[in-house]
Amino acid sequence: MAMITATLASAFFSVVAVARRQVQAVNSWRQARQDYAALCEMDDKTLADLGLSRGDLRDATAAGYFGDPTVIVATRAAERGHGRRPQVSVTGPSLVPDVAANLSRAAAWN
């Protein structure tokens, strides 16, 4: 009897896991569609700031209805990003103490 209960419990949890993955897939698809719609509402200047054009948004529809258009858009933006100037980074003193330097100073005093 315990074997049957364990088998049924295992089957139940497997079905729940599959259902959970399907719900996550639908939620991801819906989020991608909302993100794509937000990109379509942006003006050309904002799209250019992101490294995109209206043509890129049109090309993203090639992903099909159940495809993820944001993957195509992100790929296009990344392709154009290689020609950009490197971002200027501000550097300052490290907040992490240099333990090795402190150890070598301590060894020199001994």
Region 90-110: what's the mean pLDDT? 58
pLDDT at 19: 93
- Does the predicted TM-score (pTM) go above 0.75? no
Q: What is the DSSP string of 25-42?
A: HHHHHHHHHHHHHHHHHS
| Angle (nearest 5°) at CA 52 between 46 and 54 | 90
Question: In angstroms, what CA-CA distances link 107 with 26, 99, 102, 110?
Answer: 62, 12, 9, 5
pLDDT tens track for 14-64: 999 999 999 998 898 888 889 888 989 999 999 888 888 898 888 888 877
